[in-house]
Amino acid sequence: MDAVRIEHLCKRFDTNTAVDNLTLSVAQGELFGLVGSDGAGKTTTMRMLVGIMDPSAGSASVMGRDTVREAEELKDDIGYMSQRFGLYQDLTVLENIHFYADIFGIPKQGREDKVERLLAFSNLTPFKRRQAGNLSGGMKQKLGLACALIHTPRVLFLDEPTNGVDPVSRRDFWRILYQLLKEGVTIFVTTAYLDEADRCNRVGLIHKGRLLACDTPDRLRRLMRGTILEIRSDNARLTARLLRDRFPDTSVGLFGDRVHLVSADPDRMTDLVNPLLQTAGIALQGIRPIEPSLEDVFVSVLQEEESGAGHDQG
C-alpha cells in the first residue's frame, strides 16, 4: 500500500484552477518533494491531502484512508506543519509541546519521556523554558516539527518548512528529517527551493497546478535536452539580456553572477557568444559545459511546456 495516492485531483476557486488533474503516489518510507514556485498549487494540494480542504474533483488517500470520507480518522496517521504553524508565542517551548500533546490525547503516563526525546531530537532541550515568541525562525520551525511529531505520525506533511529560514537552520532541519526517515516515517514536503529537491528520494515538478514531471533527481536531469553552457562575464545581467535577444528560442537563465545557456551545439554556440559579448563591451571570463541542476531542468521543462501550450493555442 502506498503512503499517499492521488488520482486526477483538481481544485477550482471560481474560474481559477489551483490544482489541475494531479496524479501521483508516494511509497511508504519515502521522502517526496513537491517543488514549484509561489502559486504553483503546492499548498492547496497539501491541504487536500491532510483533509482540511475538499477537492473539486478526483480523489486522494493517505495510508489507505480517503481524505474526504475519513478526514477525522486520518488525523491519527499524519503530522502536518503548515507554512504558518500555530505556535503560541506566549507559551514556552515545553508548554507548546504539551498543548499539542493534549490536543492529540497523548496519555500523561509516559508523556514526559516522549517530550524529552523530542526536545533532544530537535536540539531544543536548552531552550525548553523559553517563550516561543523569543525563538529564532529556525528554532520556531524545529518546535513546530516537534509539535507535529508528538503523536508519532506515520506520514509527515511539511508545507515549505524552511521558507525564510537561514541556511544553517535549513541544513539542521533536513538532518532531522533524515533521522525521521530512518525511523520509517514517510515525509511529503513542499518547497520552492530547487536545491532542497536534491535531498528527496523523488521529486514532482508542479506549475500552475499541473504536474510537469515526477521522478528521482538523477532521472529528472535526463529530461534536459541539450548541453548547458555556464558563462562568466563582468556583467551577468547584461549578458543574459543580450543572449535572450540574440537567441530567442534558446533557454537562458541568470544564476547569481553566472549565466546558463542551453544549446544543442555547444561548440558552435561558444564560437558565437564570444564575439557577441566583445561587440557589447562585455569581458568574457569563461565559458564551459556543466551538469544541469534541477533548477536548470525545471526551467527547461517549463519552457517546453509553455512552448507546447502556445502551439496548441495557435
Decide if pLDDT at 175 tops 80: yes
Q: How confident is the model at residue 59, as a pLDDT? A: 97
**Could you read off the pLDDT of 99-132 as tens digits, one per residue?**
999 999 999 988 999 999 999 988 899 999 999 9
Tell me the pairing of strands 78-81 and 155-159: parallel
Q: What is the DSSP letter of 92?
A: B
State how far the Cα of 257 lies from the Cα of 195, in Å rounded to an integer. Answer: 17
Kindly indicate the confidence band of residue 293, based on its pLDDT and cuts at 50, 70 and 90.
confident
Total count of residues recorded for the chain: 314
Lookup result for grid cell 545581467: 237
- The mean pLDDT value for 278-306 works out to 87
Domains (range + CATH), the chain? 4-216 (3.40.50.300), 227-291 (3.30.70.270)
Average pLDDT over residues 37-41: 91
pLDDT at 311 over 70: no
pLDDT digits (tens, 9 = 90+) for 65-81: 999 999 999 998 999 99
Beta bridge partners of residue 57, listed in sequence order: 10
Cα radius of gyration rounded to whole Å, the chain:
23
**Nearest Cα to 260, choosing from 295, 231, 225?**
231
Residue 306 has pLDDT above 60, yes or no: yes
What is the predicted pLDDT for the residue at 125? 94
Least confident of 159-163, 182-186, 303-307: 303-307
Q: Across the chain, what does the average pLDDT equal?
A: 91
Q: Is the pLDDT of residue 312 over 60?
A: no
Confidence of residue 308 (pLDDT cuts 50, 70, 90): low
pLDDT in tens, 112-121: 999 999 999 8
How many CA atoms lie within 13 Å of 61's alpha carbon, on the beta-carbon side?
Answer: 12
Q: What is the pLDDT of residue 309?
A: 56
